[in-house]
A and B are shown apart, each in its own frame.
Chain A
Amino acid sequence: MIILRYVKLPSENFEEFFNSLKQWGEINAPVKQGNIYSFKKVDSLKEVSLDYTRTMLPPKKFFVKPRDELLKLKEGKWEESNGTKPVVLFGVHSCDIHGLQILDKVYLDEPVDIYYKKRRENSIIIGISCMPDEYCFCKSLGTDFAMTGFDLFLHELPDGYLVRVGSVKGHEIVWANEGVFEPISEEDLKYFREFEEKRANSFKRSLNKEGLADMLDLAFESPVWKKYEKICLGCGNCNMVCPTCRCYEVCDLWVNAYEGVRVRRYDSCFMESHGLVAGGHNFRPTRLDRFRHRYYCKSYFDPSAGFNCVGCGRCDEFCPAKIEHVKVLDEVREALK
């Protein structure tokens, strides 16, 4: 249990605070690249786009890398090839913090993924408040506010940031930089509440969670899946950009005649081989099966553990066929009536 502490970071101290984070690890923050944002290593605050909407790849890429070399084959023996260096993820949105907590359940529960664990323990997460755009629906999933899963969380104020401390490491960072922080005032709290209220009213999309599991139970043969099967390209972009997708593929590659590497990369349940098992049976042989499967995986499999969706809107923004997650589920619900 972490005792919550609220402090204020005045604008004039922001850069000093940012630079002080370098002693805790390599700072990675959202950077604009063409028309997308990406978490990238940064050296100075001016490279950072703090008003970003969402990065294309979620921060999961620091813990499960898109392509991740796990082992090296040298002289007939496999060796670990992973070194881990401390990273500071600066400017993570609430939905992505929730996304990481969902991944924690998968990768840190038995059997523990040692690569994920090492990197997670070596990271500092600094959250930042945001305003929703046309794709966001985190509020309806309760992932619009993070109570845990971060070390510090920065909430925008007119003259700086209200900082919530969320972990022991977070306290340590504040203690090490007491000089840059101030106590918060009543006025700051008032602004903080107003900001959250304004934000809550800015959402344009919401997912109807009510009875979703039962609804999907009944809707397995829904004609809506068949309609979308024809629109869906099966390209897997939605999986690649999803903060909660956790499937990976492992491949061995040759480096030279006698040495190789074992690499894992993100996999997608839209690929035909995803449901293929020994003996040639495929659990999801058609695109219809695979399209439907994704919605069941995101909203249904284990309702007690919560949804595997945090409402970040990435799958909608990066779908070439412009398929909208909320709209599909709404249509499925509608077709049952």
Chain B
Amino acid sequence: MLKLGVFELTDCGGCALNILFLYEKLFDIIKFYEIKEFHMASSFKEHDHLDVAIITGTVSCQRDLELLKRVRNNSNYVIALGTCATHGDVQGSVEGSIREKLEKVYGSRANPMKALDSKPIVEYVAVDYALPGCPYDKDEVYQVLMDIAKGVEPPKKDYPVCIECKLNEYECVLIKRGIPCLGPITLGGCNAICVKSKVGCIGCRGPLPKEANPASEFEILKELGYDEEYIRKKFKTFARGELRW
């Protein structure tokens, strides 16, 4: 049996909940894993050395950072799960330093909760596997956990949303409807679920690692008549300043 822990830093909780949404498939996972901590599933908690740790959320306060370091130091294989953990997501995209934000909201620069600028966990520690998505497709985490249980290094995806969109034969909303779609520069794995509903990709899985060409996407959207400010905001929503050129 492998020892598994699921840890939440600062996030909406959806990524941890999504694991529970595996429903009957959870029984496949507990055939190979002993769950040592999973706050959303049980109050049972046993601090132990872990084989696999799943971490969701951004590092947004001192407590997050300490928890993250403890988990990393006590786990063999760390999975950063969800776009908060891998790219910073919406919280990471808010501009300005934490002191400025505190002053704006509370009228004081005092920081009793020891809040930090929200950053993805990958900025603090090395992770063994990064699975983005806001939220990720629950089957992806299932495949990753099953692969690890069977001793297989889970493959890393390297293709944009467009690939799965085409495999499913969805009508291209960018070309055929002029809807702003970040599919060409966003990492796939979601099975193009937004385009299925004729909604443009909002880039929730973060940019295609190393390969994204935001400059060209920017020009395409501009030509469709969207203004620069709008496009820049769209690029930034999930990926902070990563889509830079």
Q: With A235-B184, A253-B143, A320-B175 in contact, is A271–B158 under 8 Å at CB?
A: yes
In the complex, the chain B residue whose C-beta lies closest to that of A229 is B213
In the complex, the chain B residue whose C-beta lies closest to that of A67 is B167
Report yes or no: B160 in contact with A235, Cβ–Cβ below 8 A: yes
Q: With A33-B171, A237-B184 in contact, is A268–B159 under 8 Å at CB?
A: yes
Inter-chain contacts of A265 with B (CB < 8 A): 167
Report yes or no: B166 in contact with A56, Cβ–Cβ below 8 A: yes
Q: Assign chain A's interface to a size class.
A: 35 or more
Report yes or no: A233 in contact with B217, Cβ–Cβ below 8 A: yes
A208 interfacial by beta-carbon distance below 8 Å = no
Q: Pick the contact of B31 from A237, A253, A257, A287 — CB < 8 Å?
A: A257
B220 interfacial by beta-carbon distance below 8 Å = yes
A35 to B143, CA, bound (A): 35
In the complex, the chain B residue whose C-beta lies closest to that of A36 is B171
A57 to B152, CA, bound (A): 33
Report yes or no: A254 in contact with B171, Cβ–Cβ below 8 A: no
A269 to B166, CA, bound (A): 15
Report yes or no: B163 in contact with A268, Cβ–Cβ below 8 A: yes
Q: With A236-B160, A256-B25 in contact, is A36–B172 under 8 Å at CB?
A: yes
Q: Which of A234-279 contact B (CB under 8 A)?
A: 234-237, 240-241, 251-254, 256-257, 265-266, 268, 271-273
How distant is B118 from chain A, measured CB to nearest CB, in Å?
29
Report yes or no: B142 in contact with A57, Cβ–Cβ below 8 A: no
Q: Which of B147-173 contact A (CB under 8 A)?
A: 147, 152, 155, 158-160, 162-163, 166-169, 171-172
How distant is A240 from chain B, measured CB to nearest CB, in Å?
4
Report yes or no: A232 in contact with B31, Cβ–Cβ below 8 A: no
A59 to B152, CA, bound (A): 35
A271 to B159, CA, bound (A): 6
B228 interfacial by beta-carbon distance below 8 Å = no
Report yes or no: A254 in contact with B146, Cβ–Cβ below 8 A: yes
Q: Which of B31-56 contact A (CB under 8 A)?
A: 31-32
In the complex, the chain A residue whose C-beta lies closest to that of B25 is A256
A160 interfacial by beta-carbon distance below 8 Å = no
Most buried by A among B25, B31, B185, B213: B213
Inter-chain contacts of A76 with B (CB < 8 A): none
Inter-chain contacts of B210 with A (CB < 8 A): 272
B: residues with CB less than 8 A from A are 25, 27-28, 31-32, 142-143, 146-147, 152, 155, 158-160, 162-163, 166-169, 171-172, 174-177, 183-185, 198, 208, 210-211, 213, 215-217, 220
